[in-house]
Structure 1
């Protein structure tokens, strides 16, 4: 039985609401990280890698590093603004 099925009787093997919420939070965090990595990969790769090859040049490596740093910084600013805004 999956965690979202409702048993016909009061079974003690049913996961608690807290366990389900923890599982959902974990899945959401994983999905967010996957999207985050894909976004950075797409944006920074397009911007920084001019001639794909077997290794990065020094300038490409520096560009990727700066791009990721700026993206992380911008994401942090947006997150803080959203969390501190009155509802």
Structure 2
């Protein structure tokens, strides 16, 4: 994913450039996590894709997504504690 920046670096302060870069990195990270979780949970929970999900498939997907969110929260909390 490539984004064109219409602002010249001289019109933005270093702080503004860093904030933009961090937002872009966070967005990319979020997209990658969503793609990974979707792929892993789909392969784990959906045996044969169809137009609807069974109750078991829905429950499996929910549990799988919940585990990823818990893991991400734990990692984020641990990193925040180590950096402070």
Using the size of structure 2 for normalisation, the TM-score is 0.81
Structure 2 distance, partners of 1:17, 1:43, is 38
Structure 1: gaps (5+ residues): 5-12
* Aligned twin of 1:3: 8
* Aligned twin of 1:39: 36
Structure 1 distance, partners of 2:62, 2:8, is 42
Structure 1 distance, partners of 2:61, 2:14, is 42
Moved over 2 A (4+): 1-4
Choose which of 61, 78, 81 in structure 2 pairs with 1:81: 78
Considering fraction of residues, name the structure with more helix.
Answer: 2
What count of residue pairs does the alignment treat as equivalent?
A: 79
1:27 aligned counterpart, secondary structure: helix
Tell which has more relative contact order, 1 or 2 (C-alpha 8 A, sep 6+): 2
Larger Cα Rg: Structure 1 or Structure 2? Answer: 1
Question: What's the offset of the Cα at 1:18?
Answer: 2.0
Structure 1 distance, partners of 2:75, 2:14, is 31
Question: What do you get for the CA RMSD once the two structures are aligned?
Answer: 2.0
Using the size of structure 1 for normalisation, the TM-score is 0.78
